[in-house]
Structure 1
Amino acid sequence: MFFDNWQGLWRVVLVGTAAYATLVIVLRMSGKRTLAKLNAFDLVVTVALGSTLATVLLTKDVALLEGMVAFALLALLQFLVAWSACRFRIVARFAKSDPRILLADGHILEDALREERVSPDEVKAAVRGAGVGDLSDIAAVVLETDGSLSVIARDRAGARTAWPQERGS
């Protein structure tokens, strides 16, 4: 159906504007982390916020105040997980993955690629994206916790204190 009535359209405009404003306020109050590159639990919150906004906009059975409480609850839960992950190792291990070296000193680590489900072509694309044409010029390619690939050129590797620790160490 293309059109039901004007009341439904006005409800979407009014509730949508209020819900959007509330979501922006909640996101600003919750800090930059909510809008940062996403790891698994940040992605869940982002998807849930979008789903909640859509539900508030399009479902007449959900009151605006219920949606506002849902936004605040999701932001609070995300804050609590992030806060706990900074203070408790067990929460950090549950909430976030560890960064992983996929290429070291010009050599692709096949076992790491297989375990992380990354192809050699993706590693090579990241190297090319960093403006480097030869793998031997690369000290490391790291799969970060947000899924991005960091490329460290050999001449920029330094003492390697920023490198992730091997698993189990």
Structure 2
Amino acid sequence: MAVGRLSAAAFNLYKEIIREKAIAGSCKWLIFIIKSGTTMEHLFFKDWESLYHIALCALVSYLALFLFIRISGKRTLAKLNAFDFVVSVTLGSTLSSMILMKVTVSEGSVALIVIIFLQYLLAFMAKKSKTMEKAINSTPSLLFYNGVFMEDAMKRELITEEEIYAEIRQYRIERIEDVRAVVMELNGEMTVVKKSETLSKWTSLDDIDLKKS
């Protein structure tokens, strides 16, 4: 009898624990559903005040970036090398942070000024020093020249023959014999140079070391 009572008590205790866990689980699901509903509602619309602030920040941030670019000149908009690409991405990221109010307009403006100043400083140093120019801009890579694929340069730049053919087609060139060279420029883009009918003392390939390629 004692064993039977003990088993019944244990069974009742087990049922009570299961019931409490079920209630706790139901409460958790209810809380999750309520929170999810609130989150989904805020996903599409929060309030008019936040929209007003974002619109105002977007206007001020856009005008600030436009002003800084006008002051710094066309070089800020150029995409001539890897650093120009970094500047473009950083400017966009900073502008986005300003619009979404992750930083204040004054903080974002300071960041924009620093980024533009660094680009101007490096461009100035590259202009004054050949060593700095090579360190900042690297050098163009000759991928194809007079019907020959430059295998070493292609391996170094991770370029395939199919990609070179595709770039040649972009220039609406059918005959490979009409192509003098394919060059990977400082900004990562490929340029196709057509053969000229007349010989010239200076060409656009003079800054490329053909032996190194």
TM-score (norm 1): 0.88
Residue 53 of structure 2, aligned match among 6, 11, 18? 11
In structure 2, the residue matched to 1:102 is: 143
In structure 2, the residue matched to 1:126 is: 167
Is the 2:147–2:177 contact (alpha carbons within 8 Å) kept by the matching residues of 1?
A: yes
State the Cα distance separating 1:160 from its structure 2 match: 5.1
Greater C-alpha Rg: 2
The answer to whether residue 180 in structure 2 is matched with residue 139 in structure 1 is yes
State the Cα distance separating 1:94 from its structure 2 match: 2.3
Task: State the number of aligned residues.
Answer: 167
Which of 1 and 2 has higher RCO (CA within 8 Å, sep 6+)? 1
Q: Distance in 2 between matches of 1:8 and 1:112?
A: 52
Residue 114 of structure 2, aligned match among 53, 59, 73? 73
- Bigger helix fraction: 2
In structure 2, the residue matched to 1:26 is: 68
Q: Distance in 1 between matches of 2:173 and 2:45?
A: 55
Q: How many percent of aligned residue pairs carry the same amino acid?
A: 36
Q: Deviations over 1:23-47 (max 9, x none)?
A: 1111122222221235211111111
TM-score (norm 2): 0.71
Q: Which runs of 5+ in 2 are unaligned?
A: 1-41
Q: Which runs of 5+ in 1 are unaligned?
A: none
Q: Distance in 1 between matches of 2:201 and 2:167?
A: 22
Superposition CA RMSD, Å: 1.9
State the Cα distance separating 1:97 from its structure 2 match: 2.1
In structure 2, the residue matched to 1:111 is: 152
Q: Distance in 2 between matches of 1:108 and 1:40?
A: 25
